[in-house]
């Protein structure tokens, strides 16, 4: 099936060169993005992703290039053109094309790009065994709740994990566990699901919130609180969440094997699959 792209105001070949050198997203990372998972041809939690997109734009003082309903319509049209059933919609909005200067261009002319591509998935072997992670110092800027294009620290952390044979790198700041380079991280202690509070220091993951809601529905206690690396390594269960990984067990941290317990993880993963099915039927 083809991958489909949309740039500024038209559909283009996914390999067509369309980004000018003076594009602010290219030069400054001056933009935001979202990734929406498609299951069996149906978008999952699309309203939540679009709401976060609007919040990120507001946080960096960038207007919408089109009304949010039109952006959603274009994204779904691209999905329909692709014919893909298990897919990801990647969309980004930048401040557009202008002479290279740090202050905002006037008037503002934001540009949207959308790509529909095959979904990334986690193998059943990894899901069953869990995945290793490493930790790394959090050197990112302080506004991590904005889903910004400025991802170089995340890229470097992910590469560090890759070179160490790990699945993910987890950011730690002054001994406090924050989140992964492209995930949120949870631990279970005394039967309570714990994760870093939704402050400016982490991305407010859509899957993160779905999991918190599911835990509440299942009667699993939840605490949004900070916890240390030592607490993480001594937890009963540790898992990651993201749009592409869903709910994924962590098997080791920095080479230290974790508990093999996965009762809560399996409950949440099963509930997540059920939520996906309910969402598809509702559309």
Tell me which residues are annotated as active site: 147
Instruction: Tally Cβ neighbours within 10 Å of residue 272.
Output: 17
- For the packed helices 68-82 and 46-59, what is the interaxial angle rounded to 10 degrees? 130
DSSP 23: B
Task: Quote the CA–CA distance of 58 and 262 in Å, as a whole number.
Answer: 39
**Cis omega (within 30 of 0) for bond into 107:** yes
Residue 110 contacts residue 71 (beta carbons within 8 Å): no
State the Cα angle at 251 between 233 and 136, rounded to 5°. Answer: 55
């Amino acid at each position: 099936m083809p991958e489909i792209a949309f740039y500024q105001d038209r559909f283009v070949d996914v390999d067509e060169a369309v980004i000018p050198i003076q594009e602010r997203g290219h030069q400054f990372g001056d933009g935001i993005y979202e990734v929406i998972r498609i299951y069996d041809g149906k978008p999952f939690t699309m309203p939540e992703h679009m709401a976060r997109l609007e919040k990120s734009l507001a946080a960096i003082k960038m207007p919408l290039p089109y009304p949010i309903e039109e952006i959603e319509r274009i994204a779904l049209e691209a999905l329909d053109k692709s014919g893909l059933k298990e897919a990801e919609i990647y969309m980004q909005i930048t401040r557009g094309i202008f002479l290279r200067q740090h202050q905002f261009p006037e008037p503002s002319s934001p540009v949207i790009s959308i790509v529909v591509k095959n979904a990334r998935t986690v193998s059943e072997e990894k899901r069953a065994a869990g995945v290793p992670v490493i930790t790394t110092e959090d050197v990112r800027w302080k506004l991590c709740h904005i889903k910004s294009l400025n991802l170089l620290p995340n890229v470097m952390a992910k590469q560090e994990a890759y070179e160490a044979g790990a699945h993910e790198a987890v950011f730690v700041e002054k001994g406090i566990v924050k989140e992964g380079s492209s995930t949120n991280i949870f631990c279970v202690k005394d039967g309570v699901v714990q994760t870093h509070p939704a402050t400016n220091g982490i991305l407010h993951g859509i899957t993160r919130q779905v999991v918190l809601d599911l835990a509440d529905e299942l009667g699993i206690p939840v605490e949004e609180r900070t916890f240390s690396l030592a607490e993480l390594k001594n937890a009963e269960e540790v898992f990651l969440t993201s749009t592409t990984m869903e709910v994924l067990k962590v098997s080791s941290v920095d080479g230290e094997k974790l508990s093999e317990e996965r009762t809560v993880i399996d409950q949440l993963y099963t509930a997540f699959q059920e939520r996906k099915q309910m969402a598809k039927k509702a559309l």
